[in-house]
Amino acid sequence: MKPPTCSSIYLLFVLIPTVISHNYSDALKKSILFFEGQRSGYLPREQRMTWRRDSALNDGQNLNADLVGGYYDAGDNVKFHFPMAFSATMLAWSAVDFGSYMSPADLRENLVALRWGTDYLLKTVSHLRNLIFVHVGEVEKDHQCWQRPEDMGTPRTAYAVETQYPASDLAGEITAAFAAASIAFKRYDPSYAQRLLKNALTTFKYANSHRGSYTNNTLVKLAVCPFYCSVNGYGDELLWGAAWLRRATSKASYIKYLVDNRHSLGADFNYYEFGWDNKVGGVNVLVAKEAFEKNVPEIAPYRDTAEQMMCAYFPETAGPHMTYTPGGLLYKPGSNILQNTVALSFLLLTYAGYLSKSSQQLHCGSVKIHPESLRHLAKRQVDYILGDNPMKMSYMIGYGNHYPRKIHHRGASSPSIATHPKAIKCLEGWNIFASPKPDPNILVGAVVGGSNVDDKFVGGRKNASETEPTTYINAPFVGLLAYFNANKKISMIGRLSFVKQKQIVYIRA
Secondary-structure breakdown of the chain: helix, strand, coil percentages, each rounded to the nearest 5: 50, 10, 45
List 162's β-bridge partners, or say none. 131
How far, in Å, CA of 14 to CA of 508, rounded? Answer: 12
How far, in Å, CA of 114 to CA of 98, rounded? Answer: 14
- Furthest-apart CA pair in the chain: how many Å? 73
Q: DSSP label at 44?
A: P
* Residue 103: its H or E element: none
Which of 321, 408, 409, 420 is catalytic? The answer is 408
Cα dihedral 342, 346, 352, 356 sign: positive
Report yes or no: 7 and 498 within 8 Å, Cβ to Cβ: no
List 132's β-bridge partners, or say none. 161
* Identity of the amino acid at 34: F
Q: Please confirm, yes or no, whether 408 is among the known catalytic residues.
A: yes
**Which residues are CB-neighbours of 160 under 8 A, at least 6 positions away?**
63, 127, 131, 132, 133, 134
Closest CA to 230 of 329, 299, 135: 135
- CB crowding 127-155: b at 16 or more within 10 Å, else e: ebeebbbbbbbbbeebeebbbbbbbbebe
Q: Please name the residue ranges forming H helices in 162-264.
A: 168-185, 190-209, 218-224, 235-249, 252-261
**Which residues are CB-neighbours of 231 under 8 A, at least 6 positions away?**
277, 278
* Residue 369: its H or E element: strand 367-369
β strands within 14-84, DSSP E: 16-17, 79-80
Active site residues: 408
